[in-house]
Amino acid sequence: MLHEASFQLHILHRGRILTQNNFDRILLSAVEESLASSLGDSSKQAIFFHLESSFKLKKESIPSNLGEFEQALKGIFGPGAPYLEKLITKRLHQKLGIQFEEMKSQNFIESIDSAKKHLAPKGELLTQ
C-alpha cells in the first residue's frame, strides 16, 4: 500500500530537499511578508480576515488555490492587485534564492509556476 507522502516529488533547494509542502510554506511566507511590507501588519491581518469571510479562502489554503487568491486580490484591490502579485512573486524568488525576471506575458500563477520550474531538476516538475 502506498502512502500519500510517496507521491510527493522532492527537489533540491539550496542543497536541501524541497517538497511541495515546503514550497507551499515558503510561498505563504512570501505572501505574508509582501502584504505586511507594503500595507502594514494590521492591514495584512484584515486582508486575511476578508479573504476568509468574503471569499471563503483560508490563509493556509492560498498556495493550493492560487487562482482563487488572484481573483480575491483583484476583488479587493482592483487595479492595484498586479502590484501586490509582483511583490509576492519577487519575494518568493528571493526566498528561493533564484533570480526574478519580470515577464509581461506571464500572469501571477505562471510566475509562481516558473519559480517551481527553476528549482526542479531537468525534466521533473514539483507536483503534489
pLDDT one-digit tens code per residue, 42-61:
999 999 999 999 999 999 99
Determine, yes or no, domain membership for 10: no
In a domain, 3, yes or no: no
Helices H, strands E: what count in the chain?
5, 2
Q: Judge contact between 11 and 120, C-beta under 8 A.
A: yes
* Phi, psi (deg, nearest 5) at residue 25: -65, -40
| pLDDT given at position 28 | 96
125 occurs within a structural domain: no
> What value does the mean pLDDT take over residues 116-120?
70
CATH of the domain at 97: 1.10.1200.200
Give the whole-number percent of the chain exceeding pLDDT 90: 59
**pTM (2 d.p.):** 0.78
Residue 28 lies in a domain: yes
Q: Give a yes or no: residue 14 inside a domain.
A: no
Q: How many domains does the chain have?
A: 1
Contact 97, 14 (CB under 8 A): yes
Mean pLDDT of the chain: 82
Q: Hunting for cell 500519500 — which residue is that? A: 4
126 pLDDT higher than 60: no
